[in-house]
Amino acid sequence: MTITITAFERSPDGGRGLARDTRVRWALEEAGQPYEVRLVSFRAMKEPAHLALHPFGQIPTYEEGDLALFETGSIVFHIAERHAGLLPDDADARARAITWMFAALNTVEPPILELATARVLEGDKPWSKERLPLVEDRVRDRLKQLSARLAGADWLDGGFSAGDLMMVSVLLRLKPSGILDGYPNLAAYVARGEARPAYKRAFDAQLAVNTGKPPTG
């Protein structure tokens, strides 16, 4: 059955891979599943046809036959459940990998998004200069804890899993800020994720959309 996802017609990041379709593309590439992409404009995202797929008028969405999903956590979990390569077979290891997916989305991503909001949307407010260091500290607190847990390991719990895919995707948003450089093991962890052939294919595919150049790989 054909899998179709939605992505920005033109991502505000110009193809740096930070929009959330990249994590879904990555999961599909890890699982070896071909997919099609329907590009949507900001306007089309708020129109009834897209709102029927995504109640909040966002990308990405995922369609497979009669099934339509939104929310990257749910989409990546669905892909990981149905195809080999993203979740371990052992039940306890699988539960731990899923826990890391939730940790990425519920515990690590919120302060990172808060920082993006503080910088991009609130940077011109008179109180921004005072607030920004507080928000940055909350990000650093989480990174310090994650860094301590990862220690010298390659991945969060044994082999690469959907938990790592989600955590690396979340941390990538910090790359332009340089904050990750304060945590060398996390910077190396993100680089390991980016070096995976499946990530490269996903990145190149979204880059091609945003630059008009065909993927090289």
**Interface positions with ligand GTB (CB under 6 A):** 11-13, 18-20, 45, 57-59, 71-72
In the complex, minimum distance from the CB of residue 126 to ligand GTB, in angstroms, rounded to a whole number: 25
Distances in whole angstroms, Cα of residue 20 to Cα of each of 59, 90, 107, 110, 127: 7, 29, 17, 14, 30
| Amino acid letter, 18 | L
Q: Which residue is nearest to ligand GTB (CB)?
A: 58
Pairing of β 61-64 and β 36-40? unpaired
Instruction: Give the nearer residue to ligand GTB in terms of CB position, either 13 or 157.
Output: 13
In the complex, minimum distance from the CB of residue 56 to ligand GTB, in angstroms, rounded to a whole number: 7
Instruction: Give the nearer residue to ligand GTB in terms of CB position, either 27 or 147.
Output: 27
Instruction: Give the nearer residue to ligand GTB in terms of CB position, either 45 or 146.
Output: 45
In the complex, minimum distance from the CB of residue 151 to ligand GTB, in angstroms, rounded to a whole number: 28
Instruction: Give the nearer residue to ligand GTB in terms of CB position, either 24 or 87.
Output: 24
In the complex, minimum distance from the CB of residue 72 to ligand GTB, in angstroms, rounded to a whole number: 4
Three-state SS for 61? strand
Give residue for tokens 């930070």.
18
Pairing of β 61-64 and β 3-8? antiparallel
By the 8 A CB rule, do 88 and 163 touch?
no
